[in-house]
Amino acid sequence: MAVTSDTSDSLERTAPSLVARMNRLPVVTRTQRSWLVLLGALLLFDMADLNTFAYAAPAIREQWDLTVGDVGVITSAAFLGMFVGSSVGGWLADRHGRKRTIIGAVFFYSAFSLASAGATGMVDLAVYRVLTGVGLQAMVAVLMTYVAEMYPQYCRGRVQSTGLAVGLAGIPMMAWFARFIIPTGPSAWRWIFVLGAAGVLVGVVAARRLPESVRWLEARGRADQARDLVERLEVEARRTTGRELPIPQEEPPMVRATTAELFGPVLRRRTLITSLMLVFLAVGFYGFNSWVPTLLIEHGLSAEQSLAYTSVLSLAAVPGALLAWPFIDRWERKYTLWVVESLVAVGILVFGFTSSEGILLASGLLVTLLLQTGTSFVYTYLPENFPTRLRGTGTGFANGIGRLAGFGSGFLIPAVFSGLGFTAVFIVVAGAMVAMGLTVGVFGERTTNRSLERISESPRTSAIPAKERA
């Protein structure tokens, strides 16, 4: 019997959405694993570039005769760029696509990292670091969103953790490169920024191999562009499991939105809590990682000893991200994050107060390990708080506010060090980590093993019509 036009329309309207079909996949397919390799490689060079100045700073100080305050200005400059990049990158991703924004950001930061290698003084280096920061955080903010949208809910935490672990290998890569290259000459630090720019090579491959986010395409009324991809993923999943796939569980419809909704009655609480989370994280995380090489020298170590210490500490970054893997999708993320950051605070206090080199190294390794465990949770948790129509913008805004706090910490840390000393810096940094854990643990949303759109349906939004909630 022929199918009438009305019947065809009805079947199309009742067919499960591509988002529901993606979310019901019981395994991470071969194609999705290939994406993860590329995303991890993008993060590898992002993390490497993010830490270039921290490792180059001691050599630059000596060559250009800079003060600790001057180092703080350049560090803050990078964070100012990160604020702009995260905020603008998220906005661009919601309007022009996740993939396009990620690739554009990679090319942007690589160009200005390479320019940093040719800097002739503090002013132009600060300008280049601002612009590098724009690209770095535009990429990271959107990449978090991309992972959240392109992998099933049951495993997105482990996927984020795995990708981050690959990316964090960029930290020891840059640390050990700096340790061996810097002693070769007074201007050898410039090669650190050249290595940071190498991410453009991965960007070229990603431009060809990464697809656009299925959720974004469907939300923009362009589902036809993603249908073949979803069908291929389903075929791969069936071949892997040897059985039929689960029935898709439909989610609320997605609608377009305005940025103002982030501050409206439905989302303003989440915007505030996630922004505070990133503010405290920036002061604590970068107050430790970005300043340890310089502060150790001020505390009496030689430049060579400082690089040796920080190179060893950097080795804990990758295991730290992988440490989250066994429980990030099993235990409620906001409570686990609270515990992890509390342990980080204890380790930071031990690091700041000890006079034993052995305890200094052991506590530094523990702090580095757990900081990256916490980062795995943050990368997963942050984009989960916002609905698809505002996920890029919301993630970018909150992350951008955190980077603005990092800008302020570039002045705060030198001021505390100059006025109160070495140990006082670590009291401030530890306090920031405690505040972060409390903020998320007490006021944050529950997100573990909940679909992205269902997370948006909190009790506070239950009275709002479904068509407005998305």
**In the structure encoding, which two tokens stand for residue 170, read together?**
């960029």
Query: In this predicted model, what pLDDT tens digit does every residue of 164-220 receive, in sequence order?
Result: 888 888 888 888 888 888 888 888 999 999 998 999 999 999 999 999 999 888 888
**In the structure encoding, which two tokens stand for residue 291, read together?**
């300043």
pLDDT of residue 236 exceeding 80, the answer is yes
pLDDT of residue 61 exceeding 70, the answer is yes
Query: Can you give the pLDDT at residue 303?
Result: 66
220 contact partners, CB below 8 Å, separation of at least 6: none
CA distance linking residue 457 with residue 290, whole number of Å? 38
CA distance linking residue 470 with residue 465, whole number of Å? 9
Nearest alpha-carbon partner for 412 in 26, 47, 69, 34: 69
CA distance linking residue 175 with residue 233, whole number of Å? 38
CA distance linking residue 461 with residue 380, whole number of Å? 22
Query: Can you give the pLDDT at residue 423?
Result: 79
- Helices 391-420 and 422-443, axial angle in degrees (round to 10): 150
> Is the pTM value of this prediction over 0.75?
no
In which region does residue 300 sit, left (phi positive, over 0), alpha (psi from -120 to 50) or beta (all else)?
Answer: left
DSSP 252: P
CA distance linking residue 22 with residue 130, whole number of Å? 38
Highest mean pLDDT among 218-227, 289-298, 410-419 belongs to 218-227
Per the CB < 8 A criterion, the answer to whether 103 and 53 are in contact is no
Q: State how far the alpha carbon of 17 is from the alpha carbons of 224, 230, 254, 440, in Å.
A: 11, 10, 11, 32
Query: In this predicted model, what pLDDT tens digit does every residue of 82-95 receive, in sequence order?
Result: 888 888 888 888 88
**For the chain, which domains are there?**
16-469 (1.20.1250.20)
Query: In this predicted model, what pLDDT tens digit does every residue of 114-153 receive, in sequence order?
Result: 999 999 889 999 999 999 989 998 898 888 889 888 988 7
